[in-house]
């Protein structure tokens, strides 16, 4: 603060006595100095955040403040950490018969919604205490409940082995109705299920909840989906595809798509109606090790390295990688 006051006083002197050329040069120097001070004062968050060895993470969500959550494919446990320091601990202990895949946080209730993968289930936890709030059995075991997004109206979960999205209606304040119910919405229209592949994976929504956006991993196609009817309109990428698309994140009209086995994140500029898009960049050069899902905080994305290219054991290292937004 003292340095900025000194700059201000010096600029006042310059304005009174300097020639026009000297004035411009001095002001430029002062501006650069002030910008450097501001940059130095900005917090620096760790670019790589380690997760517990052997954790086998897949999903990530950012909660209140600087907190993040990641879940375990191996045990269903939930890890809660701090993006500022990289420190964290287990919030939800390993759960017998549970798996944690994609997840989403709702600030209205501090609920954490978690897809249950091959269990056919989904879970809702209290993100402050780790307590169980609710459990849903969307489909038979062997199906794959993969990802989730929460809007003001509902939570929506994907199934990678069947052409369905599961809708959990929410009250206006974000709480679950009593009894908590769900609706299975068949995805129709332009969408075609591949019987042998990994299909609907990541999901996000427009801020008003009018549209859902999904990615089909096996084909690399994107779709805009009506959450009421399930009607899907393919988003025309001009011949491009985002094969191995996993977690996605819609930021305004920019869509980020994690391509797991490709070790990259595609950046897609969408039109206002979400019917056409262009791949304008591919984020690489980061220490990706098969990233799966992403969450955002400020000017950064945070990607989970799931390391599907190795046989995991209790010593396998995992991490979350900070990525500068496009």
Q: In this structure, what DSSP letter does residue 98 have?
A: -
In this structure, is the dihedral angle defined by the CA atoms of residues 233, 259, 239 and 285, taken in order, positive or negative? positive
Which residue is associated with the tokens 């989906």? 225
Task: Give the pLDDT of residue 7.
Answer: 41
The edge-to-edge listing of strands for the beta sheet with 132-137 is 103-106, 111-115, 121-126, 132-137
CA angle 260, 235, 301 (to 5 degrees): 40
The confidence score (pLDDT) of residue 19 equals: 56
Look at residues 326, 270, 312, 318 and name the one whose alpha carbon lies nearest to residue 292: 318
H helices of the chain, in order, are: 2-17, 20-41
- The predicted structure's pLDDT at residue 20: 53
**pLDDT tens by residue, the chain, 326 residues:** 444 444 444 444 544 555 555 444 444 444 444 444 344 445 689 999 999 999 999 999 999 999 999 999 999 999 999 999 999 999 999 999 999 999 999 999 999 999 999 999 999 999 999 999 999 999 999 999 999 999 999 999 999 999 999 999 999 999 999 999 999 999 999 999 999 899 999 999 999 999 999 999 999 999 999 999 999 999 999 999 999 999 999 999 999 999 999 999 999 999 999 999 999 999 999 999 999 999 999 999 999 999 999 999 999 999 999 999 99
* CA distances (Å), origin 118, targets 95, 264, 298: 14, 25, 33
The pTM assigned to this predicted structure is: 0.88
Query: Which of 86, 98, 94, 92 is closest to 112 using CA atoms?
Result: 92
């Amino acid at each position: 603060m003292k340095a900025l006051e000194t700059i201000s006083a010096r600029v006042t002197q310059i304005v009174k006595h300097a020639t026009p050329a000297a004035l411009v040069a001095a002001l430029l120097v002062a501006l650069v100095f002030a910008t450097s001070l501001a940059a130095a004062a900005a917090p620096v968050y760790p670019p790589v955040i380690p997760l517990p060895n052997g954790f086998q993470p897949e999903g990530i969500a950012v909660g209140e403040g600087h907190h993040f959550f990641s879940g375990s494919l191996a045990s269903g446990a939930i890890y809660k950490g701090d993006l500022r320091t990289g420190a964290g601990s287990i919030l939800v202990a390993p759960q017998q018969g549970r798996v944690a895949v994609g997840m989403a946080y709702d600030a209205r209730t501090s609920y954490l919604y978690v897809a249950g993968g091959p269990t056919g289930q989904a879970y809702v936890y209290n993100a402050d205490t780790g307590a169980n709030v609710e459990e849903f059995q969307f489909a038979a075991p062997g199906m794959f409940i993969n990802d989730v997004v929460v809007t003001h109206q509902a939570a929506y979960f994907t199934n990678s082995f069947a052409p369905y999205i599961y809708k959990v209606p929410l009250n206006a304040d974000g709480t679950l109705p009593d009894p908590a119910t769900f609706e299975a919405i068949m995805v129709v229209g332009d969408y075609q299920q591949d019987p042998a592949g990994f299909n609907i994976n990541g999901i996000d929504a427009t801020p008003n909840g009018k549209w859902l956006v999904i990615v089909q991993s096996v084909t690399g196609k994107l779709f805009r989906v009506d959450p009421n009817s399930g009607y899907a309109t393919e988003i025309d990428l001009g011949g491009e595809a985002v094969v191995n698309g996993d977690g996605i994140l819609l930021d305004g009209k920019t869509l980020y798509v994690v391509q797991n086995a490709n070790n990259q994140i595609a950046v897609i500029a969408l039109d206002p109606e979400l019917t056409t898009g262009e791949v304008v960049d591919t984020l690489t050069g980061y220490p990706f090790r098969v990233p799966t899902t992403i969450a955002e905080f400020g000017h950064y994305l945070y990607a989970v390295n799931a390391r599907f290219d190795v046989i995991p054991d209790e010593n396998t290292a995992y991490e979350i990688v900070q990525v500068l937004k496009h």
